[in-house]
Structure 1
Amino acid sequence: MDQSDLYDQFGNYMGPELESDEEDDDEQQNGYRHELNNVDQTSDMEDDRDEAEGEDVTVDMSNLSTAVVLHEDKKYYPSALEIYGPDVETVVQEEDTQALTEPIIAPIKKHKFAFVEQEIPETTYDLEYLADIMDSPELVRNIAICGHLHHGKTTFCDALIEQTHPYLASTENKELRYTDTLFTEQERGVSIKSTPFTILLPDLKDKNFLLNIFDTPGHVNFSDEATAAFRLCDGVVVFVDAHEGVMLNTDRLIKHAIQERLAITLCINKIDRLILELKLPPQDAYFKIKHIIDEVNGLIK
């Protein structure tokens, strides 16, 4: 039969009756129902097996609800009544008793920002002899120890103090830092204030002199402490690291000492760094030290 005979001029179907889609849908639904019945049967068999094993896995669906619950009405944790029971009184504190101006974690407060000797220290010489020398101004020397940062000024002062204070020499503290009396100086490892101390030292002929030594800071920001110490001293000892050489602050301190007309003594410190760090042979180490001396002489000229 020609396809054109099955439709009229308006496109309507005029052929024999066809099988409806509803029957196909019914067949599919019947198939689905059959599969669901099989699933229900298997689940019933599993439930029977679980009941036989003594496991109760039944879920009560009556309490479940799909209603929208506000955030304020949600209950995440059990109440105190449920935990402790009605016999226990529970008190809920809704307001803070601590003022807002008071921090929750209070900072550590140090009542003392410096530490000094509480008693007169024990020395290798008699303190009465030290007081008698103070009456002779020709035996008194005021010296300022200056230099760049970390060139060994405070460590040198510790060596002098350990030599005259036997109780400090017996301690096992390698970094004494006796002249750094502030806690901040001890924590940072940098001198901030000029600290004077008085000791009695002999010369090569065993003649004793009273030395008032000022340990000045080497940081540029605390140069005013070195300036104040220079005004009180008769001479300065300039410390220079053998490894680093003459630094910018060393240049400034030498020029300042010349302006104050002070006697300058050069001390080349940390010579062991030439051997341990630079690993220089003796001849090169000699020329390195000679170069530092020539550079300082050039600054003085």
Structure 2
Amino acid sequence: MTDQNTPLTEGELQVANGIIARVSGAYAAKMVGQERLRASLLIALIAGGHILLESVPGLAKTTAAQSLADTVQASFRRIQCTPDLLPSDITGTQIYDAQASSFRTVLGPVHSNFVLLDEINRSSAKTQSAMLEAMQERQTTIGGEVHALPKPFLVIATQNPIEQEGTYELPEAQLDRFLLKEIVSYPSPEEEFEVLSRIDSGVLDPAKHLAPSASLADVETLQRTAARVHVSDAIRRYIVGLMYVTRNPAGYIGEENARYIKYGASPRGSIAFLQATRAFALLQGRSHVLPEDVRSLRHVILRHRVLLTFEAEADGVRSEDLIDQIFAAVPTP
């Protein structure tokens, strides 16, 4: 077994790059544009984390999740979140078998490699909390019995930022469980034209699934390879310094701007940078992390971890603006 501290060889890097190229190529055959979304999904998959997608309806979030699952031969389940959704509808339950005169466990849809929680903020707080054990511990408890989730396991949750009626705001504890939060934007006119062309040609038929270009074993190879991407002590100190400033912003970005920050990032933010930058560097074909990798991922990692005050919302201050100020205040190694 290869030690995690052993530097990656050129051969191992080439194998990983080949897998990434196959997966990206197959994914691009179904998806038009949305390069940021593609990169974020791959980072979450390679880093072994979960991702929260925010956008208005109709921007192909479900198609993106299904397409990525198809390319790596992963099991995929979509759960439409509603206010009456119960925790057992997600994790599973025990039912009585009259013939056997005993209870048997029926596993819920969360026991899949890829789980899409559509409009997660429409489910109740009780149901949202049922996902915490699955997301963090990679297991569920049904009737006192622990059931491990399959590997790899990726939760892709979506939420609509426009509709607020009948929704439940995600608690900070659950937001922190998401490695990344990506905001999906509208396609460009050229990309939207290409979508129409592919629909006419039958390429974007929703009923058609992509042929697999990789396997779950390939995903595990990518995850093991990414875990060995080198992160220097200087990069680690840079990450820790950034997280410190999010918690103590006044001395770095000024009292006027610091008053907009309610809470800074927890240590999970540091861990997220460590995991995600390794995956990002691997996507770039590198065996080491650069400071630019940390900067490139600053919004997707921190926008749901740097929590703002009501005053910030009233004044139209975005978390991304404050994150940029924090990064400008911390010297780059």
**TM over 0.5, yes or no?**
no
The TM-score with structure 1 as length reference comes to 0.27
Q: Which has the larger radius of gyration?
A: 1
The TM-score with structure 2 as length reference comes to 0.26
